[in-house]
Structures are given as C-alpha cells and as structure tokens.
Amino acid sequence: MARAKISSVGQYVPPRLLTNADLEKMVETNDQWITERTGIRERHLVDKGVATSDLAAEAARECLAKRGIEASELDAILIATVTPDMLFPATACLVQEKIGAKGAWGFDLSAACSGFIYALQVGAKLVESGAHKKVMVVGADVMSSILDYTDRSTCILFGDGAGAVLLEPCGEGEIGLVDFEHEIDGSGAQSLYMPGGGSLHPPTAETVAAKMHFVHQEGGAVYKVAVRKMAELSETLLNRNGLTASDIDLFIPHQANKRIILATAERLGMPEEKIVINIGEYGNTTAATIPLAMHTALEQERLKKGMTVLLASFGGGYTVGATLLRWEI
C-alpha cells in the first residue's frame, strides 16, 4: 500500500481587515479584552459577493503553482467547510470549474473546525488505496457570512480564509502521513452550532428574526472540552506510535483561541517554541486554520523536511481529531 504525503501548500485570505479597534466601534468590547482572552488582534473578511469557493479556488491555485502542476492533473478535490456557497451543488463542484480541474471529482465535508483534518485523512486513503495520485484538500470558510456582529461572544473570534494541500504518494524513503485518531460527540451539538437553515428549521422570516442563521456558542463549555479532548486524542496517537511530546518537532493545532492552544500544549508537555500560533493575524477561520498555520510555519522556515509533526483540532459537533505525519517537502 502506498503512503500519502503532503507535497504542496497554498493559502488565500481576503485583503480586507477587521481589527480589534474596528470592533470597539461595533460592539461593547476593547482591544485589551479581546487580546487577553483570545490572542486575536485582527482577522480578514471578504467583500460582499465573495464566497467560500472563491477563497478555496485561490488557495488551490497557489498550491498547484508551488507544485508546478496543472489543475487538469488532479484526481479529486475535497473541500472542508461549514459555509458552502449554497446547500448544493457542493462547493467542490464550483472550485473544480473555477480552477479548470476537468478530470477531477470531489465533494464537501462538514466537520466544523475539524473539517480539514478529517478531509486530509479521506484524501490520504484515496492515495493509499492506489485509486488516485493527486488529491487536493482545501479547508475554507467565510465565517463572516454566519456571524451576528452585535454578539461580542462570537463576532470577535472568527475570520475568513482558505488553505490547501496537495496529497501524493510518498517517494522512496519517505514516510508522509503516519496515523490519526478521530472522535465525535453529539452530546455537545448545541454548545457550538447554527440552528437555522437546514431541514429542521428551514429559512423563514421567523428564523431570520430569531437570529437562527448565525453561530451560537457556549464559550465556557467549548473551552473545557476542547482542551481536554485535543490533549487526550493527541496522547492516544503518540502512545500508539511509541512517541512522546519530546519526539514532536512541531505542533500545529486548530487556531480557536490562544488560551486553548497553550492549555492543550501544557497538558501534552509541549513547549511553546514547538507550537505554531498565528491566530493573532487571522482569528478562527474554522476549517482553514491548520493549513493556514502550515503556510505560516513554512514562511517562518519552522517547518522543514524530515520533521515529525502533530496536528490537532476541535470543532462543533463535537468533532475532534489528531494527525501524526512526517513532513516531506
């Protein structure tokens, strides 16, 4: 069985910024309060008419350009998102058309902030099975489309963005993706969710008036479970592979809140110098945070060939995931 590896990384964030100072004019909050509690200083937002497929397509194009291949060489496109352009067709179909990947099939995967890690494993299995040679995995969300900018508990947290990776078979001597551990817990579904817009509560004047088409979150409950579960799944993964935190060269966690990141790392015994944190510049971009953090680590020359890397995520659902890999770029 062929092993899969990440062979290229791309990203795209819209140019418009929403800073903490801007938010001070919109809701009752201030820069110090936001920074101390979340680590976020600014976030990128789309302009009107820009959709998730637009961000995903740009990230995919950069990923392809860095690899030096054409979109026509792709076998499949997997889009992790909770903000699809529309319920159907899948955002993957729209991205396929926009980048000209005529020979590719694909689909969307909805797992909130764990979406990228889940899609990464699905894509890896397509490669490992021998069915495909080149699979594009994109995490993309336009969270500003489902935020209530009068609700300071949520509007300060999220931004818009997309990150993409290309999966290919490992070459001789390469290891690539090693192992993963995933878990869902539906008992936490209503601690982080968007109640309106689906078959349970289809869009009506009443659901709009009740603000059911925005993100709803119980921050305290999410914080406690996120730290515990990301650490637990990471420990399970490390133990199963005979590793400890000291064997990890770089930890790339979901960027939900700086305090969550540091608390998780502390439980794992992971020193801060091994952690990639870019939430200050992007906020929580949901499915895009981990590939955006990969891109940041590459730009900072902190992510190098041969490194052992741990990914971890937590999202609404609840969804939790951890991935162990060897970096091969």
**Catalytically annotated residues:** 113, 254, 284
Interatomic CA distance for residues 70 and 59, integer angstroms: 14
Q: Which residues are 311's β-sheet partners?
A: 252, 323
> How many C-beta neighbours within 10 Å does residue 23 have?
22
Asked if 211 and 148 touch (Cβ cutoff 8 Å), the reply is yes
Beta strand 308-315 pairing with 250-253: parallel
- In this structure, which amino acid lies at residue 77? I
Asked if 322 and 311 touch (Cβ cutoff 8 Å), the reply is yes
| Helix, strand and coil percent figures for the chain, each rounded to 5 | 40, 25, 35
Q: Which residue has the tokens 């490194």?
A: 307
Beta strand 76-80 pairing with 135-142: parallel
Find how far residue 47's CA is from the centre of its chain: 21
Residue from 98, 119, 63 nearest 286 by CA: 119
The DSSP result for 9-28, as a single string, is EEEE--SEEEEHHHHHTTSS
> How many C-beta neighbours within 10 Å does residue 114 have?
30
Interatomic CA distance for residues 244 and 20, integer angstroms: 38
Burial 70-82 (b: 16+ CB within 10 A, else e): ebeebbbbbbbbb
